[in-house]
């Protein structure tokens, strides 16, 4: 069955913009600029709920990327979040076009 799926065209990438004023909107803007960990985002004054905002972006179709990185003072790695090039391009186009709801 996997072989058959490879012949299907890839679905179009068309994520929805998060609600205006939401943490997900702030996370989208911030992830357009750079990758973030929760401690970095918290120190920037955005709070400690980056993972929740990133999950909201995932629900909206942004397909955020999460990799585990070591962090001082933590025994286990923490997540560093980013957006793919196609997500950054789609966000820039949507924001330029004034499609933001």
Structural domain of 51: 18-96
Q: Does a structural domain hold residue 13?
A: no
pTM (predicted TM-score)? 0.83
Q: Is 44 left (phi over 0), alpha (psi -120 to 50) or beta?
A: alpha
* Per-position pLDDT tens, the chain of length 101: 456 666 777 788 889 999 999 999 999 999 999 999 999 999 999 999 999 999 999 999 999 999 999 988 888 999 999 999 999 999 888 877 755 54
Quote the CA–CA distance of 75 and 58 in Å, as a whole number.
27
Could you tell me which residues come within 8 angstroms of residue 46 by beta carbon, excluding any fewer than 6 positions away? 23, 26, 27, 30
- CATH number for 31: 1.10.10.10
Provide the domain count of the chain: 1
Q: Does a structural domain hold residue 90?
A: yes
Q: Is 31 helix (H, G, I), strand (E, B) or coil?
A: helix
């Amino acid at each position: 069955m996997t072989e058959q799926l490879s012949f299907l065209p890839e679905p179009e990438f068309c994520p929805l913009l998060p609600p205006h004023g939401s943490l997900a909107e702030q996370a989208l803007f911030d992830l357009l600029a750079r990758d973030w960990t929760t401690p970095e985002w918290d120190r920037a004054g955005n709070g400690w709920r980056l993972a929740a905002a990133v999950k909201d972006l995932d629900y909206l179709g942004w397909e955020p990327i999460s990799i585990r990185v070591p962090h001082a003072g933590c025994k286990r790695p923490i997540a560093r979040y980013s957006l793919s090039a196609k997500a950054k391009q789609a966000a820039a186009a949507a924001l330029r076009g004034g499609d933001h709801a």
